[in-house]
Amino acid sequence: MASAVKKLLAVLSGEAVKPPPVWMMRQAGRHLPEYLETRSRAKDFLDFCYSPTLATEATLQPIRRYGMDGAILFADILLILDAMGLKVTFEKGEGPLVEQISAPSDLARVSPQKAADRLAPVYETVSRVKAGLPKETTLIGFAGSPWTVSLYAVEGRGKTDKSTAWRWAHGRPDDLAAVMDQISEATAHYLAHQVEAGAEALMLFDSWAEGLPDNIFREVIIAPTKKLVARLREMGITVPIIGFPRGAGVMLPEYVRETGVTAVGLDTAASPVFVNASLPEGLPVQGHLDPLLLIEGGGRLDARVRELLDAYAGRPHIFNLGHGVRPETPIAHVERVLDLIRNG
């Protein structure tokens, strides 16, 4: 069983562990009063991410409160664009704003290796978190996948209909591929440094994979992810990699088959019947409780937690959400889910 190794790493190695390990996306965040206090000490969100003292504290808070089996680095997927020379800001009520690119050459200001070197404060955070974690807790590093990060650069912001990036995919595929290649190479170095600093697993967030035509999905989700995973392996990075193509739908089996990820994160809309029927039997999966149900709580929450536990009982499974913990989530509801997982 998993006694000799960390539960989360045991699952990622292909072992079905009962009860399954659990962590939650955005578990370090605005639903915790201790997070809000820590956040108030930073002058802005980028300062928060680049302060090892504050970012370490934010990463460790949900581990102290909940005893999660995984601690995910507190950072942001847009740090790589900031390091590549684009102006990135976070405006209250507006979300992230990014200096908009018009051509691949706009990302050529800083070499991929130099961009990764600029993120040294993040690696210091990883090192500090690793030193402060309980021995049974797995440290997860992460980055945005090439399409999702590129989308922010092309659109210039997060709150858009994404039509500009989609039009690049249809009408400027070579330019988009060049942009994703540059971001992918910088991201590979970034993730490799995270592993060198102590990350024991990696997660790739493709938050904007939803709704893409199947041919475009292959070009902007599968192909760049496959290239990034292969580049990491080429660089000697052997830790497990969790891919999270949010909204992949029926493209999920092809994503798993082609990209080389170790495990796959499942979004809120994923169906356990489809997952079990279409993915390889021993493939580890992570997810996919609805964050809105976590807010509502009650009998339907209990029933869904039990349903997901039963559905993946014979498969390597990491219990998680289908998207991130929302700010209005009651702490008691998170505690209830953990109790159901751990104690039935």
Residues acting as catalytic residues: 26, 30, 39, 76, 152
Provide the Cα torsion 285, 143, 112, 39; round to 10°: -170
To which H or E segment does residue 96 belong?
strand 95-98
Give φ, ψ of 321 to 5 degrees: -100, 170
Residue whose token pair is 């900031």: 82
Kindly list the strands in the beta sheet with 70-72, ordered across the sheet, starting from the edge strand earlier in the chain: 70-72, 138-144, 201-206, 241-245, 263-265, 285-289, 317-321
Nearest CA among 28, 77, 82 for reference residue 54: 28
Half-sphere exposure of 66 (CA within 13 A, CB side): 28
Which 3-state string (H, E, C) describes 27-60? CCCCCCHHHHHHHCCCCCHHHHHHCHHHHHHHHH
End-to-end CA distance of the chain: 19
Q: Within a 10 A sphere around the Cβ of 222, how many other Cβ atoms?
A: 24
The DSSP letter of residue 77 is T
Structure tokens at 56: 């370490």
Residue 141 DSSP SS3? strand
Could you tell me whether strands 263-265 and 285-289 are parallel, antiparallel, or unpaired per DSSP bridges? parallel
